[in-house]
Amino acid sequence: MIIDTHCHAGLNWFEPIESLIFQMDMNEIDSCVLIQHAGYFDNSYILDAVKKYPKKFRAMGLLNFQEDTKLVLKKIDELFINKGSGIRLNLNYPNKIHRKVINICKAVSNKGQKISVSGDLNNFSSKGFENLIYECSDTIFIIEHLAGIGKLIDSQVNFDLKDKSMSPFKNILNLSKYKNVYIKIPGLGELTSRPNLLNNHYPFIKDRFDIIRTTMDFFTSKRMMWGSDFPPVSNREGYRNSLKGILKLENISEDEKNDVFSFVPKKLFFS
């Protein structure tokens, strides 16, 4: 069973759900987790997909944390009633609402839901995020896009955690001490630039600087999962190459791949 934990679908942005289903069928993907796209708080479209295809989809909605707390909590209840699996949290929120965010995250966890977290390296390596994780120790946080490390390593000649430029990512790796924190692996096209010359094989055959291997050494495969980032991935290496690139990595064992593609997402979303 292969589960993709990071896909987008919509009518006002990206592609309709039918386009995703086509890719799933073409690439033998069993199920996907729909992640609401940024700036849109009407989750009805992705929740309808869950109702229509209950074995195929789960959905993570987006809430406006700037709204009154009671209204946000009401929408969490509505999300739960409509079979939502959790929410997406952008870490670029004002410091003044940090306590409010903590209370909302706890409310999400009380419903048995999870939180998919978006942001950049600075957000994820901040004391504020670590404080949120600590305060909400019963809440499952899932870091998206390998914490955005691709934007940093793509400019590096060498990867060395001892280098000062790597300190934000080192802080993120140290978050693995919190057992409620998971992290998503993207396609390799998100971690390195397109080659100048292409051949007839997959464009990316290596885990550059062993960045995925290094992350797995900290978090273990039991807290990692794959997410294609469809449809933006189509502007990088493409959906199939995003899948095959990770499946073909030689520095990850078959058991670890089974965790990443099946066991972990099934446990979190489809059990």
Query: 239-268: per-residue pLDDT in tens?
Result: 999 999 999 999 999 999 999 999 999 999
CATH number for the domain spanning 23: value is: 3.20.20.140
According to DSSP H, which parts of 88-158 are helical? 98-110, 121-124, 127-135, 150-153
What average pLDDT score do residues 133-157 get? 88
168: which strand partners? none
Question: What's the domain count of the chain?
Answer: 1
- Quick: pLDDT tens for 89-131: 999 999 999 999 999 999 999 999 999 999 999 999 999 999 9
- Quick: pLDDT tens for 154-188: 666 566 777 777 788 999 999 999 999 999 999 99
What average pLDDT score do residues 138-151 get? 94
Mean pLDDT of the chain: 94
Q: What is the pLDDT of residue 154?
A: 64
Q: Residue 209 — very low, low, confident or very high, per pLDDT cuts 50/70/90? A: confident
Q: What is the pLDDT of residue 235?
A: 95
Joined tokens for residue 254: 């078959």
Taking the C-alpha atoms of residue 178 and residue 133, their distance in angstroms, rounded to an integer, is: 8
Taking the C-alpha atoms of residue 255 and residue 12, their distance in angstroms, rounded to an integer, is: 39
Residues 148 and 171: beta-carbon distance below 8 Å: no
What average pLDDT score do residues 218-240 get? 97
Q: What angle do CA 243, 232, 202 make, to 5 degrees?
A: 35
Whole domain around residue 114: which residue ranges? Answer: 3-270
Residues 14 and 2: beta-carbon distance below 8 Å: no
Taking the C-alpha atoms of residue 94 and residue 143, their distance in angstroms, rounded to an integer, is: 19
Q: What is the pLDDT of residue 193?
A: 83
Instruction: Tell me which residue has tokens 């073909």.
Output: 248
Higher-confidence position of 10 and 151: 10
**Percent over 70 (pLDDT), the chain:** 98
Q: What angle do CA 139, 143, 149 make, to 5 degrees?
A: 155
Q: What is the pLDDT of residue 205?
A: 80
Q: Residue 9 — very low, low, confident or very high, per pLDDT cuts 50/70/90? A: very high
Residue 103: Cβ within 10 Å count? 16
Taking the C-alpha atoms of residue 144 and residue 235, their distance in angstroms, rounded to an integer, is: 18
Is the pLDDT at 221 greater than 80? The verdict is yes
Q: What is the pLDDT of residue 165?
A: 72
Joined tokens for residue 189: 């096209």
